[in-house]
Amino acid sequence: MDAISVIRAKRDNGRLTDAQIDWIIDAYTRGEVAHEQMSALAMAIYLNGMDRAEIARWTAAMIASGERMDFSALPRVTTDKHSTGGVGDKITLPLAPLVAACGAAVPQLSGRGLGHTGGTLDKLESIPGWRAALSNGEMMAVLADVGSVICAAGDGLAPADKKLYALRDVTGTVESIPLIASSIMSKKIAEGTSALVLDVKVGSGAFMKDIAAARELATTMVGLGTDHGVNTVALLTDMSTPLGLTAGNALEVRESVEVLAGGGPADVVELTLALAREMLAAAGLPDADPAKALADGSAMDHWRRMILAQGGDPDADLPVAREQHVVNASSAGVLTTLDAYAVGVAAWRLGAGRARREDPVQAGAGIELHAKPGDQLVAGQPLLTLHTDTPEKFPYALEALNGGVLIAPKGTEFEPNAVVLDRIG
């Protein structure tokens, strides 16, 4: 077997054999295939695609490159959620303890933000003392005690994907549904959960800009999960507007706690409950009532225990940015557009995100939203509040918002998008 013959097969729109896939993933992981050769193959896959059997085998080969976790010793059935990423997407924070409060175990392996999309671990690290890095033993102990854990994935899970993802990021091959689907699902299947719910975002602030592409990605991932014995469903959800009223690390933690306390923005509560019901049904607990767990305080109790178990102080004051700048409505009327991508880039420029994985983030940086599309506005009323420790960044953040906020004349009819657009599985 050699890399050139594999590259040529896919370059010429051929179908890769199981043996070719197994060999190329293993050889690349061990360093026997050069980066430029894997780059060429990734581009060939980007241009010519893969069929379902190829994607399934590619995913299986990446899973086989590392370890697989086993939660069979836990007294609860495991269920997990993965979001394809967006702006203001803090759903994992209230969701994991909520589902645990309803009787399932939630081993949530999460990541950091890059570019305009926020990262769950960055958000939680704004809580004093909280730590993302847990050993497998520590993770199992928290799951057994609390029922939910949110932590970083270890290096042993699908190392082939970690290596390939970094390559795709610098070779213009990220936007390939076979490679996206196999990247996400190799890690989730290796994680060992019994059930998985996918939150596939659609819109300007999402990776998938249109619903047809999002549906194709969701269908591919549900098929992969099913083929590997994981009960998998997907929701397509709107990301044309940021979720909730905050985008930024500590700001989103505060909002998540509001949801756990029985309040919070309606869209965040709606999506949290929708995903919780899907996770519980997939785990064989369809009669559990997540709305009751929010109302009676049991979800909040599980949140506090989870944060404490990972070294955090749930009662500590969260960081606050040193400087704020208020953006007021330029005219009276109906807010028709609050573009998720524009808000995400602005929050990123304020210091809430990173351009490279090694960059630091500001815990207090971000944006508060004082209105959502469909709201009636009065000229001069506060529309956004920008937060940062570095006020020289305000002009760059404001530049990102140009064209992202549109106000129509009074009386304009406007119907906001639904939160959940479709279900696959």
Active site residues: 82, 161, 168, 183, 187
- Tell me if 63 sits within 8 A of 190, measured CB to CB: yes
Q: What b-and-e string marks burial along 343-378, b requiring 16 or more CB atoms within 10 Å of the CB? A: bbbbbbbbbbbbeeeeeebbbbbbbbbbbbbebebe
The closest alpha carbon to 277, from 285, 268, 266, 269, belongs to 285
**In whole angstroms, what is the distance from residue 388 CA to residue 392 CA?**
9
Residue 58, both tokens: 């590619």
Beta strands in 84-219 (DSSP E): 106-110, 148-152, 195-202
Give the dihedral of Cα atoms 293, 294, 296, 300; nearest 10 deg. Answer: 100
SS3 41: helix
- Tell me if 113 sits within 8 A of 353, measured CB to CB: yes
Q: What is the H or E stretch that residue 272 is in?
A: helix 266-282
Question: Other C-beta atoms within 10 Å of 108: how many?
Answer: 24
For the chain, state the CA radius of gyration. Answer: 22
**In whole angstroms, what is the distance from residue 371 CA to residue 332 CA?**
13
**In whole angstroms, what is the distance from residue 281 CA to residue 273 CA?**
12
Q: What b-and-e string marks burial along 274-302, b requiring 16 or more CB atoms within 10 Å of the CB? A: bbbbbbbbbbebeebebeebbeeebbbbb
- Size of the chain in residues: 425
- Tell me if 71 sits within 8 A of 33, measured CB to CB: no
Residue 351, both tokens: 């210091």
- Tell me if 238 sits within 8 A of 339, measured CB to CB: no
Beta strands in 244-397 (DSSP E): 246-248, 323-328, 333-338, 366-369, 376-377, 382-388
